[in-house]
Structure 1
């Protein structure tokens, strides 16, 4: 079950759902302007309706047709698009991204994905596509085509195979609202990279404007323990760094944060398939990309991030 970008775009135009590859994770996509199609995503994922969705567009010009960009938003878009950055801005044209997709908010989350096949679908479709991760709500996000099909392929009329996701973590989400810039969700674009262009970030308490902020999120069926030195009986240890645990289950044997990010959700899924008593995760540094990895792990473990 793998279609061309043009076939996927035709499915979107019919109001159907698709599996969409991006460089971050696979998404379950729908026409952002169609409330019935968006509702079908919520139904397939079992996703809480108060959680807003990201609208994916083909380029920055398409994003500015939907949202209001100030100078800082444009600087960030110029630097990181196409790529793993989502900008939350005031909504300009609410017809293009329906109220349900925005969770009733006066803001809209926008991204130009870095994956060539994703942009081909978006260009062929000609409008914004909401595409939350193609997992059932709360579970680890799929980073391979097979895992996406296994999770929500039942709901998709078309699916595009884009290979393994290069980044493996959902996008960084930054809000640019009311003159303030805030980091709502960490990701591959780091806090330092955002601050270098936008100045100091404001902890504005605007997290409700971003997806992926539930306390228990990205969780496998097995309980997850984090920042531990070893596994208990029946647990699988996901190691990090030289000599930590079984190399088959290492997020990165060399201690590379980008490798760990790319492997995180896949290894959580693979470990869960063995039906362990639990999944233990070695400590991960918190600097740079480590902030995003630790955020996902805290939520997988049911901690408040």
Structure 2
């Protein structure tokens, strides 16, 4: 049976965070607010938990979830290389609505689905999300909705769609998410001298914003 915690109440916030950590460590799913929409999260290093996340949304392994982190340093531990151009993007837009696709660190023991050796990483601009990520480490997080439905902008929206497939709902309120999806970019083509950045999904951050930060690269 899913439990909902009202995180505007300090006692429920503490209990909610404790229960969320416990649920994630057991391979269960948790919903919490990010800066864009509410997200459904699983332990990124538990293949069974990631599979449960995909099942809850009605997705297949061909749609692997992004990974949320609490710091730029955590990005460096997950990917093969962080070029100066990627560092510039991170410094300009993290925490915030930019998801960056890079080659995954080959030594990582995880299975997010059919990723083709890549991983999509973002640091959200939300205190509750960052606190949880600091305590748990990287989490596989996708929008908290059934595939084909609009992203959840409230915990109630998420619960209506996902129900008891989620163990813990952290309700941050109705005005904590911006409602605009993150911009997703493939940064694997960036080099120290320039290279190319490919926008895979248009979102809160525009091509013009990106190009202003990495003027040596082509952004398309």
Fold in common (TM above 0.5): yes
* Aligned: 1:79 with 2:92: yes
Deviations 1:152-210 (A, max 9, x none): 1311111111223432022111111133211111111111111111235454xxxxxxx
Q: RMSD across aligned C-alpha pairs, in angstroms?
A: 1.6
Contact 1:136 1:152 in 2 (8 A): yes
SS of 2:161's partner is helix
User: Counterparts of 1:140-159 in structure 2 under 5 Å?
Assistant: 140-159=150-169
TM-score normalised to the size of structure 1? 0.62
Give the alignment partner of residue 88 of structure 1, picking from 101, 110, 114: 101
Q: Distance in 2 between matches of 1:194 and 1:15?
A: 36
Q: Which runs of 5+ in 1 are unaligned?
A: 204-305
Indicate how the Cα distance of structure 1 residues 140 and 28 shifts in structure 2: closer, same or farther if over 3 A, else same: same
Give the number of the structure whose alpha-carbon radius of gyration is greater.
Answer: 1
Q: Distance in 2 between matches of 1:85 and 1:5?
A: 25
Give the alignment partner of residue 174 of structure 1, picking from 182, 185, 194: 185
Indicate how the Cα distance of structure 1 residues 202 and 189 shifts in structure 2: closer, same or farther if over 3 A, else same: closer
**Which is richer in strand?**
2
Deviations 1:274-293 (A, max 9, x none): xxxxxxxxxxxxxxxxxxxx
| Number of equivalences | 200
Q: Distance in 1 between matches of 2:124 and 2:153?
A: 15
* Aligned: 1:107 with 2:118: yes
Indicate how the Cα distance of structure 1 residues 146 and 41 shifts in structure 2: closer, same or farther if over 3 A, else same: same
SS of 1:7's partner is helix
Indicate how the Cα distance of structure 1 residues 112 and 134 shifts in structure 2: closer, same or farther if over 3 A, else same: same
Q: Distance in 1 between matches of 2:106 and 2:129?
A: 23
Contact 1:21 1:115 in 2 (8 A): yes
User: Counterparts of 1:15-164 in structure 2 under 5 Å?
Assistant: 15-67=27-79, 68-93=81-106, 95=108, 98-99=110-111, 101-125=112-136, 127-164=137-174
Contact 2:211 2:219 in 1 (8 A): no
